[in-house]
Amino acid sequence: MIKNYFYLTVGILSILFTISHTWNGLTATLPVLNNAVLDNDSITVFTYIWHIIGIENLVIGITLLIMAFQKNRTKCNFVAWFIIAILAMRWIVIFATTVIMNCNAVIQLIPDSIAIIVVIVLLLLGIKVKSKNSNG
> Could you tell me which of 80, 78, 54 has the C-alpha nearest to residue 65?
80
* Domain boundaries of the chain, sorted by first residue: 5-128
Terminal CA-CA length for the chain? 17
Tens digit of each residue's pLDDT (9 = 90 or more) over 31-46: 999 888 899 999 999 9
Mapped onto helix, strand or coil, the DSSP state of residue 39 is coil
Rounded to whole angstroms, the Cα distance separating 127 from 120 reads: 10
Do residues 14 and 61 touch, judged by C-beta distance below 8 A?
yes
Look at the pTM and tell me if it is higher than 0.85: yes
Q: What is the 8-class DSSP label of residue 26?
A: I
Tens digit of each residue's pLDDT (9 = 90 or more) over 76-123: 999 999 999 999 999 999 999 999 999 999 999 999 999 999 999 999
